[in-house]
Structure 1
Amino acid sequence: DVITPAERALLVEWNDTARPIRDDVCIHALFAEQVARTPNAIAVAFEDDEVTYSALFERANALARHLRDLGVGPEVRVGLCLERSVDAIVAMLGVLMAGGAYLPLEPGWPSARKALMLHDAEARVVIVRHLGEADSSGWGAATPLALAALPVHRDRRPAGGLRVPATALAYVIYTSGSAGRPKGVAATHGSVIGLIRPPTYVDPRPGDRILHAATLAFDAATFEVWHALLTGATVVVLPPGPLSTTALARTLVEADVTCAFFTTRLFNLLVEEHLDALRHVATVLTGGERVSPSHMARALATIDGALLHVYGPTETTTFSCARTVTPDDPQGMTVPIGRALPDERVWLLDDGLRLCPVGAPGALHVAGIGLARGYLGRPGLTAERFVPDPFGPPGSRMYRTGDRARWRADGNLEFLGRLDFQVKIRGFRIELGEIEAALGRHSAVRQCVVMARTDDGGEARLVAYIAGDATPVAALRANLAESLPGYMIPSAFMWLDAMPLTPNGKVDRKALPAPELDREALSAGFVAPRTPTEAALAAIWSEVLGLDVVGANDDFFELGGHSLRATQVASRIAAKLGAEVPLRALFEATTVAAQARLVEAAAGVELPPIEPVDRRERLPLSFAQERLWFLDRLTPNTAEYNIPLAVWLRGPLNVDALSHALNWLLSRHEALRTTLPSDETGPWQRIAAVEAITLLPEPVEGIEALRVLVQAEALRPFDLVDGPVTRSHLWRLDDDTHVLLLNVHHVAFDGWSVGVVLRELSHAYVAFAAGAAPSLPERALDYADFAAWQRRWLSGEALESRLAYWKQALADAPVLDLPTDHPRPAMRSNRGASVPFALDAALTDGIEALCLAHGITPFMALLTAFSVVLSRHSGQDDIVIGSPIANRNRAELEGLVGFFVNTLALRVDLSGEPTVAGLLARVRKTTLDAYAHQDALFYMMIRALGRSTVIRCTPLFQVMLVL
């Protein structure tokens, strides 16, 4: 299990909501009881018409008599093809009092859609308003019944109509389904009663006035109508027709509405256009889609009553969770949806249907009284979406909502969006709702939807659909860039007159048009490169990003760039354009045009090119090699700088092909056969000729014996003078299992080199095994050329300018004083150990979400967290953490094997009690500044700062963070 017993107990406690209802209770019986209590109270107000509870009961009972005469009874479905009106509410009650279940249909729907639903539900009767409508074709086997033609008279049968149990079907509402076939959600009387019984999240009473603004076919009508009629309140019916926020605002004020539910988008529009109309509404509920915290904040600053954020799909009877939002709530990117309503349960589960701990995103499942029976006539789909609840009472079920959420520490749920609206763009998980919220804050955007579209090349990209005032895309992008990282800014923007809507009034994402697939449409406002520098940069971007066309105003991160690709761009700029542009500058100047200006400004300080040197000359060591040579002379015969690489080889092995591949690799990379002799003038590089190696598999019995042999070979010291600096060994466990050990001294190798060696060795092995030669192109440069080049340029002013930064950044850097369980020895032993661990998926998701929100990399996030932990344990607010960096800033160095890696000392300032956002911003700046000065080697920093290396702890930093 992924949670502890204590966490499980907490989740169970948060879901301890049991408030069972009687099995013999039904909606219309409760309504009859309310009629007896308040017969003269106003039940329904519609324009100038007001209907008392007793009058509404009489009209509904009269209709129930006609329906029973037509064969309506328990489980019989009756279509209601009616607009919002008093008649519609009479029809809903009348069907229930006859013992049947109502099926709302929108009059404006196509006849074929209405006919499909009536046929699918096997409706026996369909109720319409007028006789003319009754003559409409498309009712199929359903008998049309016109309300206007029915006489109104008293029904002398017992009050309350035909009593049915709580498990009886109350209504069927159709929602969109796959392959264009809608599915009918079958809700029971008990589900509705569970939604509205007081006291609960909303507690209406006689005299309250609840707005009915939803269409009958939208399940919000369930709350609006029955929450009023079963508590003695008044249903205020909004006149039918196209929804106008002006008319809605007028109704709120003139009808003295005290309680109203609005879909999220309608709520946002009211806040933007008619906020004063909400001022005196005692209870405002909103939900249905991801809410906008900024709109919530504006509403809270104005309204006098309560503001509730509610959540629930149709399959769980309108609402399953609710939470009152207050001005004291922390401001953030989301607003919690609260906790489960009475007799409801909410579980967040991982892919294995295990409970997710607090803070971990999970798939949202709802159980309890609100669950519908399932989908009418669709047992397979019902079984797929309504599954057994392993955490509830025996025999209980839960509904897989398809939504994603996480528990907050206070027991409230944070809605994270649809599972199918969560996309991964260029390695980052992205919630589309977050982009929509940011885009929706722009004054020109009335409504927006963001989708991930896949182009012909299989690449996913973000497309924004906008209804509103046409605005230059550049302005929208600039606005988004204020709150979102580059990879969350859509690559295409499409302006629409209006969003296509589903029958329930939500955006129909499936109906949104596909953007143009040609490259020029990828970025609106495409401008071709205008100068030679822009053209050269566009070519570099095309090469790095794999695109055919790049424009002058295209954004690097929008097109798929990230920090590693930015490093590649910087190295290619240096190689092809002869300009040294700091990586940090590329993070700030993200268009071709902006980078072109940087390149042209840097042209006067360009670095010299790396050129091949004559191998007959004495080859100098690189600065890093020189440092390792010195340490080797100081403490010889150690394995501290060995880099052993053990590779499991499974399946039949062609040993001859592997030997050829290894010899080819040694001939291709001089560093792997370089030694470091010296004389009175100092050390130099000597490149040995290739000596053919023949791998002879050594049999070994068992993993433990293999481990002993590998460890012994890995710890065998190297002789840097006589060599070799590379050793290989092959062990055979059985015919299909071998282990190849490559052991290389750090003077010729680093972490980046591991990837180069594995890729090229694999390529060569496949080629030789097939009887062919490796096809990789020859390289013009090798490590010795880099070393000579580095010696030429990294000196004098160039070196001093870089060291000046580190002198300032690390001046008076403190030693980390952790509360260890024993005193630190006088001399460090150089013994180390590792504690391997993995970040689980939930924590990884949380880190990625943090990065998305603050425009940082996972390394920056982990560095921040690590510094906070160290600060808490040490009591210090000035923390220095070491971290390696590849230090390959030029394109021609990317494919070389050698010792390039450098170590950076990153100083994190935690003083002044910064917020999380503030500390993340500090760490981002520190990291980017360090990247810009990475050429100065670590030992140079130590010398520049006057730190001793022969002390009881390592200089400059005592902990490292390595990803």
Structure 2
Amino acid sequence: MSDRVALGRVHAALVSLPGVRDAAVHVTRDASGGRRIVAHMVTHAPLAELRAALESRLPSHLVPARLHRVPHIPLLPDGSTDRQALTALTARTVPESATAGPEPGAAASESGTAAVEPVTAAPEPGAAAADPVIAIPESDAAASESGTAAVEPVTAGPEPGAAAPKSGAAAEDPVTAAPVPGTAAPMPGTAAPMPGTAVPPPPPETVPLTPQQHTLLLDALAHRGTGRHVEQLDWRWRGPLDTDRFTAAWQSVFDRETVLRAAFDWGSGPRLVLHEHAGVEVVRHPPGSVDFDRLRERDRLRGFDLRRPGLLRLNLVDEPHPAGGGPAGARVLLTFHHVMLDGWSVSVLLQEFYRAYLAGGRLPGGERRPDIRDYARWLARQDTAPARDFWSSAIPAATALVLPAVPGPDTGLRGTGRAEARLEAGPADRLRAWAASCAATEAGALQVAWALLLYRAAVTRDPALVGFGVTVPGRGIALDSVERLPGPLMNSLPMTVRVDPATAVPRLLAELCDRALDLASYEWVSLGQIHEWSGRRAQDSLAESLIVFENRRRRFDDLYSALAAQGVGVEPPRASGVHSLFPVSLFAHRDPDGGLALAAVHDRARLADDDATRLVGQCVRLLRELPRLKGGSATVADALATLADEPRIRMARAPAPAARDSPA
């Protein structure tokens, strides 16, 4: 097993421990030249307990010889660990064990091994006796006891031979002032580097955030540790699974796609920082070592450090061999952050991954263009005046009904819930036929049902405006090959429509379709911009719920066939749904059997689990009944009458807004 794989496994074990927020793992050499693993962790948990937990999860040769508690893991501009700053932090802490630190002048690690951290602080007087030195084996003899390597990559550091810049160093280009040949020009007031000194790498390129990213970033920072805006896909992999090939294929995708090497810097902007290198994180778990559902929830709540590139990671969970024989399998969990990627993007990335895997782990070709830089430039060129005029008139002055429930008591709950329901294939086919007869789609029919639920929650018989959010792909713009561009292009826009009990249901459907067509010209505008242009107060929400109709990209049948020829079978991925800005998001997609699957992802502090289940159930009931109504003469009142025996949904009021974290 390579050092990269071994350290990745240690890092994966560390960050999976309860109470560990972040970690860095590296190799040092002692005075005798022996190698040992040292770990730094951001945690308040007792280090002795963490060591005991590691000893139960890792082979003995991978348990770190020394654990250090630090307040944070300092980073360089390229997203790698700032080793000099980490050494300074370590010098101010008391290590958990007292293994001898590397002596000054200890040899650096050999070429090709994991990077060596600077010398760590010597133990405090009176520290406990030293633990035995733990070396990383040089060969594959260090493979995991399960026979599979739990892989987690190490984020790429500076270019080979580059000196690590000091923490907080300015990112500006050096001033050209008679540099020594072959070295970087000195900054004003500093001595010129001596001949032969390594030249620091140039600062990474930056681009401005999109308005939508800015909104999501602020909200994500205000809800750290909640899994907000973190999305997950999972699917089954049957047949042989080569961990190294799997990891190499994903690394090849990372090397191609700029967005996977991007991170955020909010020190002066904020800005999107495009790094030259980023390592993919892949962790493999032996059969029976973890519960998949618990792993999924833990990985969602772990979230991401938005300052680091690579806001996508994977877990592989091996399944036991089938009792009746047949190929072994694994479940794949892919976790990503919506501030950088949308579902459409991940579908593109998956296609690239399969091509790379089939090619032995390498994706041919260089960086993709256009990429997120080109999209940022396209946005910067847009004249927002027409969009401002449209949205200023498209949002009515009257306040819309935006809650799908009547006011209710506090739920006493917290976290994110998920309630599911399904419209069977037969009724789903009838719904599609009815919508088609009205020159619409099942997505439009779903919007009708949701508008009726919003109106019903208001307990009124008078005409009223209702408002909810809808997602748009954001790719109907004049940018070449935008349909293949991974990035945060998918957008949420407000939909407002007047619901009158006397209006024919097909007429309401037609109005919603017309509004959807109008929105298509401005699907690149953020919800925050629209709110500002509408003249509403900050506390006046345009939508409190969101409809996400997932138009799945086509199956990669050619790739599935090629994988099958190598004995590998994969399923289409299943999305878990993401907790977004909205307290309720309704996700819908057509399942493989032709049914319509619905899932309400909700804030449990606002909507209790039972009420969420009733809400999605009532939506399915409306979708089943709409095609049965009396032709084109059926009214909104007729449709609502089908729910007469259904209880009202209750929803707690929103808590008072807390002070939002500033990105600092």
Give the alignment's TM-score, normalised by structure 2. Answer: 0.47
Larger Rg: 1
Larger RCO (CA under 8 A, 6+ residues apart): 2
* Structure with greater helix share of residues: 1
Give the alignment's TM-score, normalised by structure 1. Answer: 0.33
